[in-house]
Amino acid sequence: MAKDTVFNKKATINAGGRLIDLSTPQVMGIINLTPDSFFEGSRKPDVELAVQQAGKMLADGALMLDLGAYSSRPGAADISVQEELDRLLPAVYAIVKQYPEAVLSIDTFRAEVAEAAIKAGAHIINDIGGGDLDANMFDTVARLQVPYILMHMKGTPQTMVQQAQYRDVFSEVFDHLVLRYEKIRALGVHDVILDPGFGFAKTAEQSYALINRLQDFDMLESPVLVGISRKRMIYGLLGGTAADALNGTTVLNTIALTKGANILRVHDVKEAVEAVKIWEMAKKNSL
């Protein structure tokens, strides 16, 4: 693709009546309401802890908070809809009450959970299944008229490791997203954010290949979210564990910014906000 190709990329989304400008990249903080998420430091299964974390992330510069109550790490145990709701809704209610200015995203692939969370005060649905894990998801999002994060994954969190087989990872991920993007747009959903799904049914090498082609997702003219924070694709390369992967995360987030990322979904908000500020200043003063 020619480097001077220009796409009319959508720069705003409407979240709960608030117009959010994504022409300047924004940071989404991760709050896991689970006891078993892959990065121990992100686990906030207690409502009070979740509210405290929300306050810290907002103070550090996060515009959005992504709340998840179902662990999607490889091989994670499946839980019922009711258990997911029991973990999620008290935190949503508490954060909305304490921080009404926060834009809340809900990390779920279940339409029932998505609808309950939006009615509780959340604003965005972040679906790791891209509509494939719940046949009612697209219709629910269209009825609720909320922004939708469309992610690529093959299989389920329990089976995705075995699904990391591609002839051409970019083409297959792109084509998969195109089909689902066209379907949900046809239902009247105006704000769709794309997520290539780094690490979901993808090896480290495949994930880096997608990072290398990230700018090409702009062909769909929608905002792009990058979620690589502390993942195995970083610490597997550098050594250590997720706890050691902050520096590598910042480096890779910066690369993603240079390739058009609009939202960085991270565990460490302060460092991501600083990366955005430095990148913006460098871009503003480029010759």
Catalytic residues: 231, 265
Q: Phi/psi of residue 146, each to 5°?
A: -120, 155
Gap between the Cα atoms of 65 and 105, Å rounded: 6
Gap between the Cα atoms of 222 and 215, Å rounded: 11
- The distance from CA 284 to its chain's CA centroid, rounded to whole angstroms, is 26
Q: Phi/psi of residue 217, each to 5°?
A: -70, -15
List Cα–Cα distances, 265 to 23, 82, 112, 167, in angstroms. 16, 26, 24, 28
Gap between the Cα atoms of 118 and 103, Å rounded: 11
Phi-psi region of 170 (alpha: psi -120 to 50; beta: other; left: phi over 0): alpha
Residue type, 72: S
List Cα–Cα distances, 26 to 14, 209, 235, 264, in angstroms. 14, 23, 24, 6
